Amino acid sequence: MQQVNLGIIGGGTVGSGVFHALQRNGGLLASRIGVKVAVRKVAVKAFDEPRPYPIPQNLLTTDWQSVVNDPQVDVIAELAGGTTIARTMILTALKLGKPVVTANKALLSAHGEELFEAAQNHGTNLYYEASVCGGIPIIKSLREGFVGNRITALYGIVNGTCNYILTRMKQEGADFSAVLADAQKQGYAETPPDLDIDGWDSQHKIGILASLAHGFWVNPKRIHVEGIRNLTALDIQFAEKMGYTIKLLGIVKKAEKSARVQVSVYPALIPNAHVLSSVSGVFNACFVRGDVVGDTLFYGRGAGKDATASAVLSDLADAALDLKGGTKRRVPPFVPHDREGAVMPMDEVVSRYFVRLMVVDKPGVFAKIAAILAKAKIGISSINQPEGHEGETVPVILMIHDAPNAAMKKALAKIAQLGVVKGEPVMIRVENFE
C-alpha cells in the first residue's frame, strides 16, 4: 500500500486531536482510500505543553522549519493558528510544492487570496475544510457537491459560543452578561470573548463561504458585522411572543439582476417555523439554497478537537488521493462564474425590521414616531405595546416593512431625538428566507 508522510505543525488541542484521530481510525482511512497516512513529525511550541491527547516524544520537535523542509514529509497540516507565523509556514510549504491542510479561518480570511494563488503557482493544493463549521462538510459541499449550482442564498449559524448564549437567554429568560459569564466558566466562551460575541469569528467564516459560493475573493473589510453584545432578554422575549427566535446569522445573498452579493453578519429574527430556529446550544448549521438543488441544510458541531479533527482527516484523504493520482487540482477553490461580482454596500440592503423603543407613556407618542417613518417612506406592519410594563417609560415594538438599511438608520436617528423616546432604539433585522 502506498504511504503518504504527514508533518503536523501545532500539537495543542487541534493538533493532538488530529494525531489521536489518525491513531484511532488511520487503518480505516487507509482501507477506504488505499493510501496510508503516517505522521512523521509534529512541531510544537514546547515539549511539555498541555494537550488533550498524548503524542510520542520521538515525533516532537520545536523547529517547524525542520518539518516543512523534511524531504520525506509529503503533506503539511498547519494547526498552529494565528495570522503571522502561520502565513509564513504555509507559504514555505506551498513554495516547496507540498499540499497544505489548514483549519485557520482567521488566516484564510486575511490572506486567503495570496495563499490560494501561491498554491496554484507552485502546482499544489491548499485544503481548508476544518476552517468553517468544524466537522460539517460545508466547504466540500459548496466546492464539489454544488458545483452545478448557482448559490442564491446561504444562511449560517457559524459561531457556537453565540448560539449557546442566545439559546440560554431564550430558554431561561436570562440577561446576556450573566449567561456570558457562565459560558466563560464552562469553557464555551473565551476571555476576552470579543472575537465571538462581536461577530468577528463569524465574519472570517462567512467571508470564506461567500468567496467559495460566488467565485471572487471577498475582502473582509467589505463585510458588515454586528454582534450580540447589545441584545437583551426583553428583545428575545418580545421576539418569541411574535413567533420568532433571535440568532446570529452569517448571510450571503445574491442580489436580483446583478452580480452583487450581500455578505453580512448580524443578529436576526428567524420565524420559529424555520429549521434554523431550532439549532440550539453550541451547534452550527448552514442553510444553502442552490438554483438547481433548492434548499439544503447542514448541521453539526462547529468546534472542538474531535469535530475539527474529522474535517482535517477528510482533507488529508483528499490530499493523499491527489498525490497518489498525480492530480494538481480537481475543482479550483473559486469557480469564476461571478468574477465581476462585488459585495453590496450594507446601506443598500433591504430588510424587514424589529424595532424596540422605550417611550414616555402618554398620548401622541405613536403619531410622532409614525410621522418620521412615513416621511422616510417606511411602512409599519404592526405596533405593539406589551402588557405588564406600565410606568412612566414603556417598551413599544414596531415591525417594519421592507426598507433600505440607510433609510432605516436615518429614520431611527431622528426618532431617537424625540423627547418622548428614552435611550437608543434597538433595531434587529427579520429574515423570512423567501
Assess whether 205 carries a catalytic annotation. Answer: yes
How many domains is the chain partitioned into structurally? 3
| Count of other CB atoms within 10 angstroms of residue 208 | 26
User: Residue 315's pLDDT is what?
Assistant: 97
Cis omega (within 30 of 0) for bond into 52: no
User: Residue 338's pLDDT is what?
Assistant: 52
Asked whether residue 121 falls in the same domain as residue 246, the answer is no
Query: CATH number, domain at 210?
Result: 3.30.360.10
Asked whether residue 79 falls in the same domain as residue 148, the answer is no
Q: Which residues contact 234 (CB under 8 A, 6 or more apart)?
A: 356, 395
Asked whether residue 194 falls in the same domain as residue 296, the answer is yes
Asked whether residue 143 falls in the same domain as residue 269, the answer is yes
Asked whether residue 165 falls in the same domain as residue 275, the answer is yes
Cα–Cα distance for residue pair 281/299, rounded to 1 Å:
12
The dihedral through the CA atoms of 262, 223, 339, 152 has a sign that is: negative
User: Residue 392's pLDDT is what?
Assistant: 82
Asked whether residue 319 falls in the same domain as residue 294, the answer is no
Asked whether residue 113 falls in the same domain as residue 10, the answer is yes
Query: CATH number, domain at 402?
Result: 3.30.70.260
User: Residue 337's pLDDT is what?
Assistant: 52
Asked whether residue 225 falls in the same domain as residue 290, the answer is yes
Render pLDDT for 175-228 as a digit per residue (tens, 0 to 9): 999 999 999 998 889 999 999 999 999 999 999 999 999 988 899 999 999 999
User: Residue 387's pLDDT is what?
Assistant: 75
In a domain, 341, yes or no: no
Domain that holds residue 423: 349-430
Render pLDDT for 236-256 as a digit per residue (tens, 0 to 9): 999 999 999 999 999 999 988
User: Residue 255's pLDDT is what?
Assistant: 87
Q: Are strands 260-271 and 244-254 parallel, antiparallel or unpaired?
A: antiparallel
Q: Give the global pTM.
A: 0.94
In a domain, 25, yes or no: yes
Cα–Cα distance for residue pair 213/251, rounded to 1 Å:
12
Low-confidence ranges of the chain (pLDDT < 50): none
Marked catalytic residue, from 41, 98, 105, 205: 205
In a domain, 314, yes or no: yes
